[in-house]
């Protein structure tokens, strides 16, 4: 019990003292996960919208696949990206294995299905409401898809944040493709795993608190945006 | 664009016949009211004419289209208007932009029609927070801005109180006076008397009669219409 209390106190001291090591780890985590979510959104939102308004053979199968991929285990993604990026792999010539870029790739792969599947659902629901009106005004399907992305933007923010939560919280993929190299590819989750196994609980706990606070802060922000937007735009 | 000819038009959904062979001719000029009890197929008939639904059989022919795209010269106002999550003005501009107008043209024309329907003060307000009556006026403005030869209205006042209904009816008359053909569904006999020049009475997917408004009320040609008129009058 006292061990836990001490760990908390020490963790707090680390956070309050703005320990440079800790700051580096937090900054890298944010850089990697934000980049991944940005790239994933650029791919997944148009993809989700296209599937939502599109009519093509195999659509239902694609939706099932996408929904299933939301539960993709991070270690499996890590392994696949590792194989892709390793020296002998098809993208080995890029030479980005064990760099933050590789971690961005892995997290992007992990997050694309989540954002695509959830945005497909939201946009398809909106499409049901807008369908006749937009077609009556002469909108083509691609232009209707863009209109729907814009009109569901406040719901999509929540989805993108869910993607960020997933990216920032996973260990397996970044551990495999990043290698948890101190000062280079060590992020919050891999550091927590390592420090815990080494027995340095204050640092692990401090990072845990920072991680939780960041996710909480972002979600509070999203809720606020949504609330204000609904009040303003209906 | 006109006359509009329906040739043995049929539509079924999931094996259920909804429109069971309707032939009619709608000339330029008179305000045509499609009248009938709930579930008669009025809305479906209108969607077939407007091209939102594909007929299961028969044809919709625009005799005066002269090679142009008839879809570009008609507009529709729905019972429940779908407003995009943007300002009232931007909602009107959206339709104009899809119709291929230049940005300056869109802006000017949109300002104009908002002025006409009495929403100039609300131009910058988000469309979704407007009242039901204001939204329906905005929907009329959005449709009319396109300068259609034919305006379809699907029970445009079904959800509105008498005062607002009166406003909407005046706007419809004004649009008619400016040279647009009005084709409107309703099940409200008072509205038929106020707005109708000719009546197409639909019952269970069949056109029972097409008569000038006065004659429809004084000497209905079908027993179904006679029953409907008697049942509806207080």
Q: How far apart are CA B92 and CA B90, in angstroms?
A: 5
Q: How far apart are CA B10 and CA A32, in angstroms?
A: 58
With a cut of 0.90, is the ipTM above it? yes
Per CATH, which fold does A2-233 belong to? MetI-like fold (1.10.3720)
What confidence tier does A1 reach under pLDDT thresholds 50, 70, 90? very low
Q: Are B197 and B30 in contact (CB under 8 A)?
A: yes
Least CB–CB distance from B50: residue in A136, A139, A150: A136
CB within 8 Å: A233 and B126: yes
Q: How many CB pairs under 8 A join A and B?
A: 51
CB atoms near residue A31 (< 10 Å): 14
- pLDDT given for residue B234 in this prediction: 43
Whether A230 and chain B come into contact, CB under 8 Å, resolves to: no
A contact test, residue of B52, B85, B139 with most A CBs within 10 A: B85
Name the pTM for this structure. Answer: 0.89
Residue B54: alpha-carbon gap to chain centroid = 18
Q: Are A205 and A8 in contact (CB under 8 A)?
A: yes
> Tens digit of pLDDT for each residue in A154-197?
999 989 999 999 999 999 999 999 999 999 999 999 999 999 99
CB within 8 Å: B95 and A233: no
- B198 bridge partner residues: B32, B212
For residue B130, give how far its alpha carbon lies from the nearest alpha carbon of chain A (Å): 9
DSSP string, A35-71: HHHHHHHHHHHHHHHHHHH---TTHHHHHHHHHHHTT
pLDDT of B147 > 60? The answer is yes
- B9 bridge partner residues: B22
- Let me know if B65 is exposed, middle or buried by CB neighbors in 10 A (0-12, 13-18, 19+): middle
Whether B132 and chain A come into contact, CB under 8 Å, resolves to: no
> Tens digit of pLDDT for each residue in A57-69?
999 999 999 999 9
Buried b (16+ CB within 10 A) or exposed e, B209-224: bbbebeebbeebebeb
> Nearest chain B Cα to A147, which residue?
B84
For residue B48, give how far its alpha carbon lies from the nearest alpha carbon of chain A (Å): 12
Q: Average the pLDDT over B80-101 and give the result.
A: 95
3-state secondary structure of B93: helix
Q: Which of A168, A174, A159, A171 is nearest to A212 (CA)?
A: A168
Here the tokens at position B87 are 């300002």
Residues 143-182 of chain A whose Cβ lies under 8 A from any Cβ of chain B: 143, 147, 150-151, 153
Whether A135 and chain B come into contact, CB under 8 Å, resolves to: yes
> Nearest chain A Cα to B75, which residue?
A136
Q: Are B78 and A132 in contact (CB under 8 A)?
A: yes
End-to-end CA distance of chain A: give it in Å, rounded.
Answer: 50
- Give the CA diameter of chain A: 69
For residue B23, give how far its alpha carbon lies from the nearest alpha carbon of chain A (Å): 23
Whether B71 and chain A come into contact, CB under 8 Å, resolves to: yes
Least CB–CB distance from A136: residue in B52, B86, B126: B52
Q: Which of B234, B212, B210 is nearest to B36 (CA)?
A: B210
pLDDT of A74 > 60? The answer is yes
> Tens digit of pLDDT for each residue in A87-144?
999 999 999 999 999 999 999 999 999 999 999 999 999 999 999 999 999 999 999 9
């Amino acid at each position: 019990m006292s061990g836990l209390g001490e760990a908390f106190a020490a963790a707090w001291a680390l956070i309050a003292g703005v320990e440079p090591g800790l700051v580096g780890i937090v900054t890298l985590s944010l850089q990697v996960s934000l980049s991944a979510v940005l790239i994933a959104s650029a791919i997944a939102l148009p993809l989700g919208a296209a599937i939502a308004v599109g009519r093509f053979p195999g659509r239902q199968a694609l939706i099932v696949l996408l929904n299933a991929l939301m539960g993709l285990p991070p270690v499996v993604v890590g392994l696949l990206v590792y194989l892709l990026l390793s020296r002998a792999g098809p993208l080995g010539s890029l030479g980005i294995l064990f760099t933050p870029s590789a971690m961005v790739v892995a997290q992007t792969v992990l997050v694309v299905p989540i954002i695509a599947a959830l945005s497909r659902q939201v946009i398809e629901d909106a499409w049901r409401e807008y369908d006749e009106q937009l077609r009556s005004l002469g909108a083509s399907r691609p232009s209707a898809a863009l209109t729907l992305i814009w009109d569901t933007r406040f719901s999509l923010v929540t989805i993108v944040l869910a993607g960020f939560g997933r990216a920032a919280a996973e260990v397996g993929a970044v551990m495999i493709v990043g290698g948890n190299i101190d000062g280079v590819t060590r992020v919050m989750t891999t550091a927590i795993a390592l420090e815990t196994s080494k027995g340095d609980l204050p640092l692990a706990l401090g990072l845990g608190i920072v991680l939780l606070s960041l996710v909480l802060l972002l979600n509070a922000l999203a809720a606020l945006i949504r609330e204000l937007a609904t009040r303003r735009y209906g | 664009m006109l006359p509009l000819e329906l040739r043995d038009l049929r539509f079924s959904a999931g094996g259920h016949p909804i429109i069971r062979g309707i032939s009619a001719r709608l000339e330029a000029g008179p305000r045509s009211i499609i009248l009938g009890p709930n579930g008669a197929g009025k809305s479906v008939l209108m969607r077939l004419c407007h091209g939102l639904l594909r007929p299961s059989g028969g044809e919709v022919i625009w005799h005066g289209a002269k090679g142009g795209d008839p879809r570009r010269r008609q507009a529709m106002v729905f019972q429940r208007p779908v407003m995009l999550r943007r300002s009232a003005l931007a909602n009107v501009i959206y339709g104009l932009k899809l119709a291929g107008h230049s940005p300056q043209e869109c802006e000017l024309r949109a300002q104009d029609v908002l002025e006409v329907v009495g929403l100039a003060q609300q131009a910058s307000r988000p469309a979704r927070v407007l009242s039901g009556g204001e939204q329906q006026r905005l929907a009329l403005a959005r449709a009319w801005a396109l300068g259609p030869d034919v305006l379809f209205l699907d029970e445009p006042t079904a959800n509105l109180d008498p005062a607002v209904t009166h406003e909407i009816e005046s706007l419809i008359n004004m649009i008619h006076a400016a040279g647009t053909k009005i084709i409107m569904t309703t099940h409200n006999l008072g509205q038929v008397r106020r707005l109708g020049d000719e009546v197409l009475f639909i019952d269970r997917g069949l056109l029972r009669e097409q008569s000038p408004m006065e004659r429809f009320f004084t000497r209905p040609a079908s027993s179904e219409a006679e029953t409907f008129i008697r049942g509806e009058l207080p």
